[in-house]
Structure 1
């Protein structure tokens, strides 16, 4: 198995970059701009692992693949994040020493999906997550398993899968006996093979089994099997390992895929195998004479013309061929040679069809009762529907320690067996997501299980017959976000494996919806949710879809939807559509929609019909099993209809100035082959365009950002001041030409000088992947789509005003929002409730760390003053709109007929009127109405 790497980022560079970002977060001019999480929580995100206190099963930790570590001590009713002050939120596995309160986190997801983010090694906390220490394995990238010796808590075993997109040596099994100070690599196979699972005998830590996995992912292919995949056994607590013999009965060879392990005791072990060996051809599998696409792959033209029209039409209709392709005219196309029979098979072989190819054996369960000497498959039939062709995404198996024959297999459904794997039943009941990644089985009570999946966490006490959903954390994995232009605007977003959802931007995110039965977020599309565009003339018309370009026009008022993906002509090679296919609704005419495959398509009538306005705008694709050579970003200039840019996953950027009449490639100066994550035609200058490139799929995490002021003929690099993390999105501000926002795989940044320097956002916003950004210009709000912590919102009105003149000042007070007087101030609804306490935000900028005194005046009377410890940059002071005692007296004296009454909580609140806030050199005002 060969491996081609671009230029993987060295771990020393990453470590240096993490220190750089930590320093930036302290000195950033925008670090005090607050972000608010606006959910959603209901659909959650992918769980990587759970760890439960064996002495109190209502206390546990949950690690999310890209959403951090969360803690509950009330059986999942609520959760608290405990990794937010760490350098990453990407988790592969967790382990907890419950007696000492020590937590081990293996960073970097164990799965190998399109957004399985690399980690930074092993993190350890000895204070229940208050602080974290990095304790090694910096170049591991992806950690699969952590085991703590219950008799010696400093002895820890770690399984490492290694880099996802490149080869490296730091993979295999590692062991420490001094709590992570030093590590010994006790099992190493080669630079392309890591360890995906380790399981230990519950009664003897010396006996453990490990599964190696040979896998190579590229942007255009995934190979998840090979000769190096095998099972190993250790009898000395992971210090040394012996490979299970070739004649053991367990599969060997090129088709051996991912392996999961479950140990019942020293001798009895179950292994779940993702077999990539092809299924034997069986003529009996075809139960009717109906045509299939396989029939056409070897069919001659003569035999094709002999097919009965009725039979051919049944094939064409059942497989979704366009109306123009019916038996009579397709046969004519074959007669004249414009189409071959094999084209009727190729027509259906898009990327989505390949994804669900089921010709491999797939999931199979083996068992040994003699400590791995011999293995037997537990079932004599295919476990259809458990893995399909993407078993690399799953691979976990568990055994009930109260019942040797009770096992659980995690896949697309979760299935269980009570007879040692001879027969299975599904426990993927209602209220449970379909993709299963982690499972805890209570070792002391059969039937009590915690199930982690792509839709969060589920709890069952009756062995999966009924489930409770524990989705309190906001850990959604967003690909995209959109905000419409209504006054109370709606936010839309597409999520990994959780479809497309929509809600009012100010929706209340709490458990109150369970009382009403109506969550504020509404699902409007299934699958992996993709981009969204909304018709500004009619907010009920929404364009969105799922993976590989399957888009729809939805009329939410009429509750209808129409499939609108462009279709190639029979005989033409199928269009290639990216997993995240880009769409763009023209601002010049809202009937015009663009959609990018490997060619750019345009509809003049809202997707009802399409015209192709380019040739192939990619390098042409590569042989593989993942759609590649596809467009990833489209942008149209707001200055000119038909001034379009298109970027591809293989590093090409093209521009047309005449609506696709001619195209010019403008990306030759960029690093080759990198994914164009964004191309942005500027709204401030017609000739300006921004491009971001993403090297994630080569393990190259360099931030690539470029700008051109001449339609892409010449470029300047804007990314060299950013910490190392691949860039996903760039957004121009809606008002300030010099203000840019950039989302990376590890956080969000702003530039106040059009990319010359960068500032890190951090208030309430952890180090998490940011996939998309949108600005609602009327509300002056920035919506951040994270891939792991759902959506965040921030008001950027003051940031938009931070120009060079303000930055040169010692202090500047920004405008203050007015407040409406309320008779409920200082009162509570009952003696059991907290008093209603008003507050007003006073935003200001200072050019250095300093103490700032803000004086509040009514006319010439100073009614109060507050002192703030301000940090250089943007700050917000919170004022409770009260009189000081001295201010009250002065106010009553100056306003002889005014009487300031005491509120129920003993506070004197300001009366209706206009007020000024003053500093030594700046002032602003607000009104209480």
Structure 2
């Protein structure tokens, strides 16, 4: 095997030219793929959607609009959201930051790369343009922009377009700021540039004058371990010449300035009247948030002396301990004894609670605030006196949209965790979130001609209101769920489970009908079993009602679906010990050797021998130790135990370490020193076919490094072989072995799925009916031989692997091979119609075969020695399928009746003669297979 030097530290952003070449390569691979004739079927869900990034509504006909999803593509409706059609599927990306439509000409502009800066905000490939309603797309530039925030089209000149570019998320770059074209995207001019760390998060123009526009700059820096969403260069700019030149207008004008200025959103009522929504990261003045309760808080213990601690009332201390989830062993008397003897300090009680999730929501910043100018930005004034608590919590960087009703200067809408409105210019607000409206609001269209008509996009999809948000209709028709993980149990009619971004964990039968029929019964086939950001799932194969799953930062539960009982099972550190660090996507693993044994990874590996009721820590810190920041880092991301040996366990971390133990945690060996360093270990997988074999995938997305990192070892990770081979450049999220054929591997990247038939020596693009979307997880259901694909933007897909698994080296060397053909049952309905309104039912069987080259082939169907029919087909190199309607040819019928004197072949109602019951042979050249009509 090839050995890799530890000096291979890959933290250089991938160039736009490399990305473009990889997209071209992927397109060519799709055309020549050996598996291009194997179709994927979307299996939902649709009831729970994905994050909306923007909406564009036809002002002359509001029942027609486009919806852009963060990673789910562009969808069109002309029936007010009753149904939607995807129109970006033939493009190289599904990642959208903003959309704009010139309704007069039907020209559609898509700024790719989500405008949010979350941990799964995928980069784009610049500006896409369509002049034929989405049938074809042209990339018109800004290839290195990565994330585009806003597109403005001059209402009087469709070739004049302004684009706001945020730029790279994880690295500095020059292609950010404001760009302008006057020739429909043929050429671009950068008209506003601040620096390589500051981009433009919003641009808006005066409705009555395109020459007057306002822009918001945003200085931000995201790392895997920290997000800094504010800076001195975040500000407001104004142009009076349609974006050709810009002037900063926020300084010394009443709008905040300095390092605490965060994301800014803009809403322009007219040339002079503008609202600005600001995510203020300045700290609140001391004394403004005085505690109103006598109850103890975490902050009380940070400076409390041991003497004062011992004076606390037991009842008061016990209330704090119990309400904050301390283990049962930590109650007033024994904790006081621990403080008395010096085992712990009072400050340890505060530290005990300060995990990454608590820290994230524990910052006391000003948060959301609204400013208004009525003189074109010469002066700004805050519209409200109170804090807008609960609008942003502490992650305002995720929001930033504000809208004004063009029929009412004082009617404004603010998008945050809830959606709130004001009818007095921002002095007071009321919430218009309702029971069927998801939280986390990202996009809003306010009808400029009719007050109260709203279209709202959020993390859970799309909602429509005609009464100013008092009531909402949910328009979740597309399957655009953003899955982190997918799992299938082992029941005969197996169930599929999956965890989604901000939409919990859902489960359904794998063959559930994904249509609107559930609205008649009132029961959607998908059922929610967990809230929050849905994470990994494991199911006890002895009792498939026992499900392990949870939400972000390691908050896992054991669910008994029969009794409805949920038991919280997150491992807890001991008082005085540093809190465990848990990744956003904390890994779990249920042992195949004993289904009572569950593994869960923090920065250390934890093992439970009794289904999560009790835990033991079986490792030290298996990461680099973490980094200072506001995002949990230095955490385990992947766990895999070998099916050959109990206690042979591999773990990978977000900071690039892979470790192995062969004795259940007795001792550990680091096996990643010869791999590229400091990258996110997206998967480490123990082989199901060879004890010594292990696979690893690394991911550089959080450095804007999109290199494809895939490795295999046949000696427990002592040496590694690079098996990324010919996969186009794209970060890798998952690798999985086939359950039957050890030579077959599946890999999911940020731009699709791939399959190898030779252990990674070469790869085939695997995506018929699967858009160019991020694949976060794949699962092989070994009994049904199905592959379940969890995409981050287009929900779940399924295809059957039974024939692929038989594509062994022996088969691949043949000229032609015909796979097993399913039998079929004879029916009197063949050729009949249920009514005059329906076409006659035509039976079909699928004849799957392999061809080692592209050529015309004849598929002959025999009954004994009699050829009853034949099909001519243009075969592709690789896997093919011929569809046969089970009919006789004219000659075949005559020859069959000659050979079978007593045969009585009757014509069906559609004037076709169908084959009778019996056994038949299919021949293609010298290859053959059989099927039976029963």
| TM-score category, normalised to shorter length | over 0.9
1:646·1:654 contact (CA, 8 Å) conserved in 2? yes
Q: 1:167-221, CA deviations, whole angstroms, 9 ceiling, x for partnerless residues? A: 0000000000111111000000000000000011111110100000011110001
Counterpart Cα distance in 2 of 1:547 and 1:114: 12
Give, in whole Å, the separation in 1 of the partners of 2:771 and 2:381.
47
Equivalent in the alignment of 2:817: 812
1:914 match: 919
Q: Quick one: distance in 2 between partners of 1:828 and 1:425? A: 57
User: Pick from 270, 288, 298: which aligns with 1:293?
Assistant: 298
Tell me which residue corresponds to 2:784. 779
Q: Secondary structure at the match of 2:335?
A: helix
Pick from 13, 18, 43: which aligns with 1:13? Answer: 18
Q: Is the 8 A contact 1:770 1:787 kept in 2?
A: yes
CA contact (8 A) 2:10 2:700 kept: no
Q: What does residue range 100-115 of structure 1 map to in structure 2 within 5 Å? A: 100-115=105-120
Farther-moved stretch of structure 1 (915-924 vs 232-241): 915-924
Residue 362 (structure 2) aligned to one of 357, 363, 369? 357
Equivalent residue number for residue 877 of structure 2: 872
Partner of 2:393: 388
Contact kept in structure 1, 2:597 and 2:607, CA below 8 Å: yes
Does residue 687 of the first structure (1) align with residue 692 of the second (2)?
yes
Larger displacement relative to structure 2 (178-187 or 331-340): 331-340
1:399 lines up with 2:382 in the alignment: no
Q: Which runs of 5+ in 1 are unaligned?
A: none
SS in 2 for 1:314: helix
How many residues are treated as equivalent by the alignment? 926
Instruction: Please give the secondary structure, in 1, of the residue aligned with 2:508.
Output: strand
* 1:164 alignment partner, SS class: coil
Q: Which residue of 1 aligns with 2:907?
A: 902
Helix, strand or coil at the partner of 2:872: strand
2:590 aligned residue (581, 585, 592) = 585
Determine if contact 1:44/1:474 at 8 Å carries over to the other structure: yes
Q: Secondary structure at the match of 1:330?
A: helix
Q: In 1, Cα distance between the equivalents of 2:60 and 2:242?
A: 24
After superposing on structure 2, the runs of 4+ consecutive aligned residues of structure 1 that deviate more than 6 Å are none
1:849 to 847, 854, 866: 854
Cα deviation for residue 283 of structure 1 reads 6.6
State the distance in 1 between where 2:291 and 2:106 align.
Answer: 58
Q: How does 1:462-501 map to 2 (within 5 A)?
A: 462-501=467-506
SS across alignment from 2:44? coil
3-state DSSP of counterpart to 1:43: coil
User: Secondary structure of the equivalent of 2:436?
Assistant: coil
Q: Which residue of 2 aligns with 1:206?
A: 211
Distance 1:663 1:822 in 2: 63
Task: State the partner residue of 2:511.
Answer: 506
Structure 1 residues 289-347: Cα deviation after superposition (integer angstroms, max 9, x where no partner): 21111011111111111112121111111111111001111111111111111111111
Partner of 1:630: 635
Q: Is the 8 A contact 2:725 2:763 kept in 1?
A: no
1:802 corresponds to which residue?
A: 807
- Identify if the C-alpha distance between structure 1 residues 674 and 753 changes in structure 2 by more than 3 Å, giving closer, same or farther: same
Q: How far is the alpha carbon of 1:488 from its aligned partner?
A: 0.4
Question: Partners in 1 of 2:285 and 2:133 — Cα distance?
Answer: 52
* 1:228-243 alignment, distance < 5 Å: 228-243=233-248
Partner residue of 2:714? 709
Deviation at 1:412, TM superposition (A): 0.4
Does the 8 Å contact 1:5/1:166 carry over to 2?
Answer: no
The equivalent of 2:733 in structure 1 is 728
Distance 1:441 1:210 in 2: 20
What are the equivalent positions in structure 2 for 1:86-105 lying under 5 Å apart?
Answer: 86-105=91-110
5 Å matches for 1:518-917? 518-917=523-922
Unaligned residue ranges in structure 2 (runs of 5+): 1-8
Deviation at 1:886, TM superposition (A): 2.6
Q: Deviations over 1:742-801 (max 9, x none)?
A: 000000000110000000012101100000010111111100000000000011111111
| Local SS of the residue matching 1:38 | strand
- Displacement after TM superposition at 1:380 (Å): 0.6
Instruction: Give deviations 1:449-502, integer Å, cap 9, x for gaps.
Output: 110011111111111111111111100000000000000000000000000000
CA contact (8 A) 1:32 1:762 kept: no
Structure-2 separation of matches of 1:243 and 1:836? 69
Contact in 2 for aligned 1:450/1:459 (Cα 8 Å): yes
Deviation at 1:78, TM superposition (A): 0.7
Distance 1:105 1:141 in 2: 13
CA contact (8 A) 2:115 2:201 kept: yes
| Counterpart in the other structure of 1:163 | 168
Equivalent-residue separation in structure 2 for 1:183 and 1:263 (angstroms)? 25
CA drift of 1:100 comes to 1.3
User: What secondary structure does 1:531 align onto?
Assistant: coil
Tell me the distance in 1 between the aligned counterparts of 2:347 and 2:925: 81
Question: How far is 1:828 from its partner?
Answer: 2.9
CA distance in structure 2 between the aligned counterparts of 1:905 and 1:407, rounded to whole angstroms: 63
Please list, as runs of the form range in 1=range in 2, the aligned pairs for 1:304-323 lying within 5 A after superposition.
304-323=309-328
Pick from 69, 79, 88: which aligns with 1:83?
A: 88
Aligned with 1:42 (options 17, 41, 47): 47
In 2, the alpha carbon distance for the partners of 1:249 and 1:315 equals 43
Query: RMSD of aligned C-alpha atoms?
Result: 1.1
2:453 aligned to which of 443, 448, 463 = 448
Aligned residue for 1:371? 376
CA shift for structure 1 position 857: 1.3
Distance 2:588 2:201 in 1: 37
The aligned counterpart of 2:929 is 924
